[in-house]
């Protein structure tokens, strides 16, 4: 693995394989290089292997085969350095309900051997908007507050990499925005962020680069912009001058739907047609066009296309 190692990688994964007891092959030879300084999105449908990958990084699941380097440290050769280089926000919320948020962070800092004078518990609580709850019992916090406390807990040892596994599941829109604001601040300070999410629009908005895994294999790993540019399907919404009873058809339409009394939503493939041809085909069917709206393809289109094909 030394030959292929990448000095600017935050995380390097080579041929990572996990077969669970009972024979389930959750990871089937994953290769990923997550560059330093980025916000990287790991996406995939349910059961794709995202949590297994993250749990291996966290040292909570043992890999069956392959190599993993975290901040240049091989998890087999330098497990302690590898562990100190990463902070993990798990999917499941687990806390000792009898500790306050402040104690929770102090304990975690102690666990990582952070000396008392270097502990930043209050600073971290302020950053996640929990300073007013510093001395409340953790069990009295709402779900969103607990999740933010988990983020603070993952940062007590100031790791250069923060991994968040489905961080916004069950978090309301406002708190989600606050959480992302903090994640962006950390990233601006140089922390590499890796996140898994089911919300594609979130990944599209936040991530510099996206990897998609399906059935334990990487099916794509690209800058977000390139990934979105891969979307072939375009949509044009056409309003015509009279009520429609049937939909027109043409070879350049992939799909045509009646989405209003006078509105047609037409999907076409941009490698086989252009908007001009689509509109001409509508006019050729005897309809006059009074308005046109086009929609650019988004990550959801690419995601569905790639995961359906795999």
Ligand X SMILES: Nc1ncnc2c1ncn2[C@@H]1O[C@H](COP(=O)(O)OP(=O)(O)OP(=O)(O)O)[C@@H](O)[C@H]1O
Positions in the binding site for ligand X (CB under 6 A):
20, 22, 24, 26, 44, 46-52
Could you identify the residue written with the tokens 């693995």?
1
Closer Cβ to ligand X, 198 or 305, answer by number: 198
Between 191 and 213, CB nearer to ligand X: 213
Give least dist CB 64 to ligand X, A: 12
Min dist CB 193 to ligand X, Å, is 18
- Beta carbon of residue 58, minimum distance to ligand X (angstroms, whole number): 12
Which C-beta is closer to ligand X: that of 12 or that of 165?
Answer: 165
Q: Which two tokens stand for residue 247?
A: 């939909």
How many CB atoms within 10 Å of residue 91? Answer: 16
Residue found under tokens 């102090």: 106
Given the complex with ligand X, which of 49 and 167 has the nearer CB atom? 49
Q: Give the count of alpha carbons within 13 A of 157, CB side only.
A: 21
Query: Smallest gap, in angstroms, from Cβ of residue 13 to ligand X?
Result: 14
Query: What is the 8-class DSSP label of residue 287?
Result: P
Question: For residue 205, what are the contacts with CB-CB under 8 A and spacing of at least 6?
Answer: none
Q: Give the other-Cβ count within 10 Å of 12's Cβ.
A: 21
- How far apart (Å, rounded) are the C-alpha atoms in residues 188 and 182? 10
C-beta closer to ligand X: residue 44 or 211: 44
Cβ of 220: how many Cβ atoms within 10 Å?
18
> CB of residue 87 vs ligand X: minimum separation in angstroms?
19
Least spacing, CB of residue 204 vs ligand X, in Å: 18
Measured from the CB atom, is 47 or 79 closer to ligand X? Answer: 47
Q: Is 66 exposed, middle or buried (0-12, 13-18, 19+ CB in 10 A)?
A: middle
């Amino acid at each position: 693995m030394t030959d292929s190692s990448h000095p600017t990688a935050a995380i390097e994964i080579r041929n990572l394989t996990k077969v669970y007891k009972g024979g389930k092959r959750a990871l089937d030879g994953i290769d990923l290089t997550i560059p330093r300084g980025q916000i990287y999105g790991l996406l995939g449908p349910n059961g794709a292997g995202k949590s297994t990958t993250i749990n291996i990084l966290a040292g909570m699941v043992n890999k069956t085969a392959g190599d993993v380097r975290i901040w240049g440290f091989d998890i087999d050769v330098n497990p302690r350095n590898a562990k100190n280089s990463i902070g993990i926000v798990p999917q499941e919320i687990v806390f000792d309900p009898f500790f306050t948020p402040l104690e929770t962070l102090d304990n975690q800092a102690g666990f990582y051997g952070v000396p008392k004078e270097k502990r930043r518990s209050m600073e971290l609580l302020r950053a996640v908007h929990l300073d007013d709850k510093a001395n409340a019992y953790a069990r009295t916090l709402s779900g969103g507050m607990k999740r933010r406390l988990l983020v603070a807990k993952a940062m007590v040892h100031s790791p250069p990499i923060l991994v968040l596994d489905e961080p916004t599941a069950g978090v309301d829109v406002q708190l989600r925005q606050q959480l992302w604001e903090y994640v962006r601040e950390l990233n601006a300070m140089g922390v590499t962020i890796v996140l898994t999410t089911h919300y594609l629009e979130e990944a599209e908005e936040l991530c510099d680069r996206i990897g998609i895994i399906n059935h334990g294999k990487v099916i794509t790993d690209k800058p977000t912009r390139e990934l979105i540019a891969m979307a072939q399907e375009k949509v044009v919404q056409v309003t015509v001058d009279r009520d429609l009873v049937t939909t027109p058809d043409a070879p350049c339409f992939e799909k045509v739907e009646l989405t209003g009394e006078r509105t047609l939503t037409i999907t076409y493939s941009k490698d086989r047609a252009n908007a001009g041809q689509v509109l001409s085909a509508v006019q050729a069917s005897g309809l006059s066009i009074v308005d046109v709206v086009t929609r650019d393809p988004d990550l959801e289109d690419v995601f569905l296309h790639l995961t359906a094909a795999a």
